[in-house]
Structure 1
Amino acid sequence: MKLTYFAGDPPNFGDELNPLVWSAMLPDGFLDDREEALFLGIGSIIQDIYPRSARKYVIGSGYGGYSAMPDVHDGSWDVLFVRGPGTARRLGLPAERAICDPAVLLRLLPLPEAASGITVAFMPHYESLERGFWQVACRMAGVTLIDPRDDVGRILSQIRGARLLITEAMHGAIVADALRTPWIAAKPLHHSHRMKWRDWSESLEIDLRPHALLPSNIREMYHAVWPNAEVWRAARSSTMPTLKPVNQMLTWIAAKRLQQLSHAEPQMSRDTRLDAAVDGVASAIDRFVRSRGGSGLRATGRASASARSASMRSMRLTA
Structure 2
Amino acid sequence: MKLTYFQGRPPNFGDELNATMWHHLLPQSFFDEDPTTLFVGIGSVIQHNYPRFARKLVVGSGYGGYTALPDISDGTWDFRFVRGPRTASALGLDPHQAITDAAVLLRATPLPPPAKAIGTAFIPHYESIERGDWRAACDLAGIHFIDPTESPDRVIAQLRGADLVIAEAMHGAIVADAMRTPWIGVKTMHHVHRFKWYDWTDSLAISYRPRPLLPSNGREAWAVATGRSGSGPGVRAVFENPAGRPVNWACRHLAARSLQSLARADPHLSADSAIERATDRAMSSVEAMVRDYGDKAWSA
The answer for the alignment partner of 1:31 in structure 2 is 31
How many Å apart are 1:209 and its aligned residue?
1.2
How many Å apart are 1:227 and its aligned residue?
2.5
What does 1:80-119 align with in structure 2 at a 5 Å threshold?
A: 80-119=80-119
Which residue type is aligned with residue 233 of structure 1?
Answer: G
Which residue type is aligned with residue 206 of structure 2?
Answer: I
Q: 1:46, 1:254 → 2: CA distance? A: 34
Which residue type is aligned with residue 220 of structure 1?
Answer: E
What does 1:2-21 align with in structure 2 at a 5 Å threshold?
A: 2-21=2-21
RMSD between aligned residues: 1.5
The TM-score, its normalising length taken from structure 1, stands at 0.91
Contact kept? 2:30, 2:297, Cα under 8 Å: no
How many Å apart are 1:294 and its aligned residue?
5.4
CA 1:161 to 1:153, structure 2 compared with 1: closer, same or farther past 3 Å? same
Q: 1:160, 1:229 → 2: CA distance? A: 31
How many Å apart are 1:296 and its aligned residue?
9.3
What does 1:179-198 align with in structure 2 at a 5 Å threshold?
A: 179-198=179-198
Q: 2:96, 2:238 → 1: CA distance? A: 47
What does 1:163-312 align with in structure 2 at a 5 Å threshold?
A: 163-228=163-228, 231-293=232-294
Aligned to 1:96, what secondary structure does the other structure show?
A: helix
Which range moves more in the overlay, 23-32 or 219-228? 219-228
How many Å apart are 1:228 and its aligned residue?
3.2
Aligned to 2:10, what secondary structure does the other structure show?
A: coil
Contact kept? 1:205, 1:269, Cα under 8 Å: yes
Q: 1:102, 1:228 → 2: CA distance? A: 30
The TM-score, its normalising length taken from structure 2, stands at 0.96
How many Å apart are 1:129 and its aligned residue?
1.4
Q: 1:205, 1:50 → 2: CA distance? A: 31
The answer for the alignment partner of 2:125 in structure 1 is 125
How many Å apart are 1:130 and its aligned residue?
1.0
Percent of matched pairs sharing the same residue:
52
Q: 1:296, 1:31 → 2: CA distance? A: 7
For residues 168-209 of structure 1, what are the alpha-carbon distances to aligned partners after superposition, in whole Å with 9 as ceiling and x for unaligned?
Answer: 000000000000001000110111111100000000010001
Q: 1:282, 1:229 → 2: CA distance? A: 37
The answer for the alignment partner of 1:155 in structure 2 is 155
Q: 1:60, 1:113 → 2: CA distance? A: 25
Q: Tell me, which stretches of 5 or more residues in structure 2 are unaligned?
A: none
The answer for the alignment partner of 2:69 in structure 1 is 69
Contact kept? 2:121, 2:164, Cα under 8 Å: yes
Which range moves more in the overlay, 245-254 or 220-229? 220-229
Q: 2:7, 2:297 → 1: CA distance? A: 27
Contact kept? 1:218, 1:234, Cα under 8 Å: no
Which residue type is aligned with residue 93 of structure 2?
Answer: L
Aligned to 1:164, what secondary structure does the other structure show?
A: strand
The answer for the alignment partner of 1:41 in structure 2 is 41
Aligned to 1:284, what secondary structure does the other structure show?
A: helix
Aligned to 1:238, what secondary structure does the other structure show?
A: helix
Aligned to 2:39, what secondary structure does the other structure show?
A: strand
Aligned to 1:251, what secondary structure does the other structure show?
A: helix
Q: 2:116, 2:174 → 1: CA distance? A: 21
